[in-house]
Amino acid sequence: MLIEIKALQQELPALRDINTKDLCELLASLGFPVDAVDSSNGTTVLEVDVTANRGDVLSHRGLARDLAAKLETKLAELPVNTLAEGAPLLPIRLESEACPLYATAILDLGKAQGTPTDVQAFLGHMGSNAKNLPPVDASNEILHRVGHPTHAFDADTIKGALIVRWARAGEKVVTLDGVERTLTTQDLVIADEAGAIAMAGVMGGDSTKVTTATKRVLLESAFFDARTVRATAHRHNLHTDASYRFGRGADPAMAKVARDLLVQRLEAWAGGRLVGAWTAGTVPSSRKPVVFDSSVINRVAGESISVTEASAQLERLGCAVDGQHVVPPTWRHDLGIPDDLAEEVLRLRGYDRIPSALPPLEGSPEPLSTGYLQRRHLASRLAHLGFCQTMTYGFVDQQEKQEFDPDGSDPALRTLRNPLGEEYSLMRGTLLRDLRDAAALNLDRGAHDVRLFEIAPVFVPNPKNAEEPIREIWTLGVVWAGETGGEDPLTPVRNIAAPEGKSHLIGVLKTLGISDDFLRAFQRWEMTGVVGGTRNHIGWQFEVPLEAIPATVERVIPAYSAFSRFPTVERDFSLLVDLDQSYRSLAEAMTAAIQGAAGEAFQDLRCVDVFRHKSLPDGRQAWLLRVKFQHPARTLTSEEVDVWMAAGLGAAKSLGAELRG
């Protein structure tokens, strides 16, 4: 936004004693950094960065109002004469709730005097070329000075009543830029009895524009719904100064004021004679008060701020404060919750006054959620089993409709209304599609064994529930494709789709604790899906909701146990086991047997090495298991450790394992 310092000083005289550098720093402290400073011919113009939620400062007066609150001073009086309204000279019908207020007036123009030189220069500094048509230039000047868009129609071109309504499907209007635009039923228009003559809040129409031949003008100063204007501007790719301001929320209380200012300008610049002024509709009712508790600002600030100080800051912003109830001013649409008010108080006090050190934390850490712990455990377990975690897009193209429709419902429920592109227009219903594509890409580039998994939500249509038509379900998807082995001449190449590959994958599923029902379904699933485009790109895939996998219970702070001061004893088992042996079942059986014999002396059992070689018996592999013992009250003896190890070996043999010779 461009701001002329001289015009800003007219709105706030206190700025005349502040140099440009200090003004830039002051604006930055309020959250409006200055991107550029341009000085020429004795005039300085600032390019100020304004956030999208602050439509109230998109003018010289709006920005001066915020500066006045910071400097604890007052704005200059707005030089406006309030018009006496009379009976409507032209019927105005408001047929849409998107326009609750429409203030207007009709003037006879005298001999045109043209736009004053200083106003033409001001508009030039704002990046808007003066047309030397007083109704047009005055409307633009008022927009930049006070922030409320207005418009002037050639009154003699209007046919019958003036109507604010929704456009009819296929209705057309030629806008001021000479382009014919086809409207939709979501577009708000200004119309007469013959049809649409302007796009409300966006741009006027060519058929009613003001020219040098215009004798009478009808002025428009209305309040339009921000979302309606913003959507229309986006739909037609027509972004104007008016739509920029209406789309961020105009001040309904300024509608009559802007009209009165526009009348004054035309009386002074063009010898205009007021025929009549009137208003259709009313200013929207006051907003509901926000309950503001001092604990909110103290929490946000990290220090105690008195209610008196906070109330004074809010009142300087134009809020009406009554105890804990705060009613934001009509121009501040961004203030709706207590945290918004707390932010405003801190902004006016100065962010530099917020302590740099964080306040001390009180209380115990909150436990991590069960779902997060489960996802972390699954990811860690699969990574240990040789799978690589990946992350794919949550949005996919429309082709997925044909591949995935979980319950036969309408996949349009998963379609985005405003996607980034056609390839991102559908909320995904499965993880396998993108995982297969990622596996195929890696295989095509020379990888032999691709093991991928992803833990992420998918979106399932739920048409029977109107309040939640789409369900978000956290899911685990796994793809294993290619072939294993062949790293050296002694290791045979094995197709992953072979039975031993499926057996290994079932072992992986068991270690994750996946429900027996799912395992039985997977064992009946004999499909070997082609992942890539060549014969070798064959593998296994599965997808399971996390609710089918047992949740992981994990404490944030582990329970304390005293350290033993006595020496530890470690013993190893070198076992021959079947290739499809589940480590989990073997470890649980041996742990139960050893712990039952050793009691509190047993500390840990884990596999520290896996060995596979042609020198081993067919169908067998070697596991090196390490057991750790340590008694809390005494030193252990070799004899008792031998007894405990024998108990563990007995449990291993019961599952088909044997000591390696």
Q: Give the distance, in angstroms, between the CA of residue 435 and the centroid of all CA atoms in the same chain.
A: 25
The neighbour count for residue 200, using CB atoms within 10 Å, is 31
Return the amino acid letter for 133.
L
Asked whether 252 and 56 are in contact (CB, 8 A), the reply is no
E strand or H helix at 569, and its extent? Answer: strand 569-578
CB atoms within 10 A of CB 109: 21
Question: Nearest 5°: CA angle at 250, between 204 and 229?
Answer: 45
Element (H, E) at 395: strand 395-396
- Continuous H helices in 270-391: 294-301, 307-316, 338-349, 370-384
Question: What is the DSSP code (8-state) at residue 418?
Answer: S
Say which residues have a Cβ less than 8 Å from residue 467's Cβ, sequence separation at least 6: none
Torsion sign over Cα 458, 462, 463, 469 = negative
Q: Name residues whose C-beta falls within 8 Å of residue 592's C-beta, 6 or more positions apart in sequence.
A: 651
What is the side-by-side order of every strand in the sheet holding 658-659? 602-611, 620-629, 569-578, 658-659
Question: Which residues lie below 8 Å from residue 192, measured CB to CB, with a gap of 6+?
Answer: 158, 159, 160, 161, 162, 163
Map residue 121 onto helix, strand or coil: helix
* Cα–Cα distance measured from residue 378 to residue 143, given in angstroms and rounded to the nearest whole number: 59
CA-based end-to-end distance of the chain: 83
Of how many residues is the chain composed?
661
Q: What is the pLDDT of residue 524?
A: 43
The low-confidence residues of the chain, meaning pLDDT below 50, are: 406, 523-536
Contact call for residues 58 and 1 (beta carbons, < 8 A): yes
- Residue 41 has what pLDDT? 82
Which backbone phi and psi does 316 adopt, to 5 degrees? -65, -25
Token pair recorded at residue 478:
């796994």
Contact status, residue 275 vs residue 106, Cβ threshold 8 Å: yes
pLDDT of residue 480: 85
Q: Strand, helix or coil at 455?
A: strand
Side-chain-facing half-sphere of 479: CA atoms under 13 Å:
27
32 vs 49: CA distance, rounded Å:
5
Least Cα distance to 404 among 451, 458, 454, 441 occurs for: 458
pLDDT in tens, 242-270: 999 999 999 999 999 999 999 999 999 99
List 627's β-bridge partners, or say none. 571, 605
Of 522, 551, 543, 516, nearest to 457 (Cα)? 543
Domains along the chain with CATH numbers: 2-71 (3.30.56.10), 92-281 (3.50.40.10), 290-328+335-353 (no CATH), 370-548 (3.30.930.10), 569-659 (3.30.70.380)
Distance between CA atoms of residues 469 and 414, nearest Å: 9
Cβ neighbors of 310 (< 8 A, separation 6 or more) are 292, 294, 297, 341, 345
Angle at 151 between CA 147 and CA 153, to 5 degrees: 170
Judge residue 539's burial from the number of C-beta atoms within 10 Å of its C-beta, 0-12 exposed, 13-18 middle, 19 or more buried: buried
Side chain identity at residue 630, one-letter code: Q
- Token pair, residue 296, equals 């909110």
Both structure tokens of 362:
């009180």
Q: What is the CA radius of gyration of the chain?
A: 37
pLDDT for 532: 45
Among candidates 96, 299, 320, which has minimal Cα distance to 190?
Answer: 96
Written as one string, the DSSP assignment of 238-294 is ---HHHHHHTT---GGGHHHHHHHHHHHHHHHS--EEEEEEEEE-PPPPPPPEE--H
| Cβ burial, residue 160 (10 Å; 0-12/13-18/19+) | exposed
What are the CB-based long-range contacts (under 8 Å, 24+) for 386-391? Answer: 386/451, 387/451, 387/452, 387/453, 387/478, 387/480, 388/451, 388/452, 388/453, 389/452, 389/453, 389/454, 389/455, 390/435, 390/438, 390/452, 390/453, 390/454, 391/454, 391/456
Residue 410 identity (one-letter amino acid): D
pLDDT for res 353: 86
The whole-angstrom separation of Cα 478 and Cα 546 is 13
